[in-house]
Amino acid sequence: MKYLYLLCVLALFSSCKESEKEKIARLVEEWEGKEIFFPSRSVFTIQGKDTVSFSLSDADYKVVTYIDSVGCTSCKLQLPRWKQFMQEVDSTLNRPVSFAFYFHPKDMKELRYITRRDAFTYPVCFDEKDDFNRLNHFPDEMTFQTFLLDKDNRVMAIGNPVHNPKVKELYLNVLTGSEAVKAETPMTKVIQDVESVDFGSFPQSEKQERKFTLTNTGQRMLVIYDVITSCGCTKVNYSKEGIRPGEKAELTVIYEAEKAEYFSKTVTIYCNADNSPLRLKVTGNAE
């Protein structure tokens, strides 16, 4: 089982340099089977307002994520995607799975606003003193600050399922008891027509849209598994149908500014191309 999960995780980063693969293998080896410790007193609230009783002790499995105070909080949280994943887990399994969210905020007011904006009503711990991280010394990379734990709080899988569809698949395989590695979709080749989109300056109230294309230059059908944006203000519309060899897929990136500011966001496209994931940089200045 351990060997299987190691292979799965390495496969998620097949496009990485060898040194990155070695780093991933080391982290998986270090954390696989390790016990995660929880603070003796963790206060969970709904949207930072109402304190609630929350316990992990009765769950057969636990998904635990830690979000630190570095960088864009909204980009890291991806709360709408967490809601989707939790609903999928709940509808797929007939066993209890608990989700524990520990947020170490740099701005408590902002964090409360984000949970309300995204209508996130699941209990979260606003860990102002960073006690959870101090107990466990999590890796610095956000990718490796989310864990699937067993009943004894030992790590069964590592990685963030809302930021990477392959990690999501790995978690679901573990939770459903599936040990077989699914056959991979045959790989193809893709050309992305642009690597960045600059909306320039525009009034904050105006929604911005721009199209870009992917051309399937390989011999197999192109399948887009998922498109993940670095924040909720950026969305991408695209067809879920496969793209035949020689044909193009047109995607529309949409930006709706929440406030007046210069922004730089990232769109990540996961597909069965040999250079996946593809990335698009989105910039502009909302005035």
Record: fold of 190-286: Immunoglobulin-like (2.60.40)
Asked if the model's pLDDT at residue 21 lies above 50, the reply is: yes
What residues does CATH 2.60.40.10 cover in the chain?
190-286
What digits encode the pLDDT tens for the residues 220-262? 999 998 888 877 788 899 988 899 999 999 999 999 888 888 9
What digits encode the pLDDT tens for the residues 190-223? 999 999 999 999 999 999 999 999 999 999 999 9
Give me the phi and psi of 30, to 5 degrees please: -70, -40
What digits encode the pLDDT tens for the residues 37-49? 999 888 899 988 8
What residues does CATH 3.40.30.10 cover in the chain?
22-176
∠ CA(52), CA(42), CA(175), 5° rounding? 85
CATH 3.40.30.10, applies to 22-176: yes
Asked if the model's pLDDT at residue 63 lies above 80, the reply is: yes
Question: Which of 188, 154, 148 has its CA nearest to residue 273?
Answer: 188
What digits encode the pLDDT tens for the residues 125-139? 999 899 999 999 998
- Contacts of residue 12, defined as CB under 8 A and 6 or more positions apart, other chains included, come to 159, 164, 166, 167, 170
User: How many CB atoms within 10 Å of residue 208?
Assistant: 18
The structure's pTM equals: 0.74
Averaged confidence pLDDT in the chain? 84
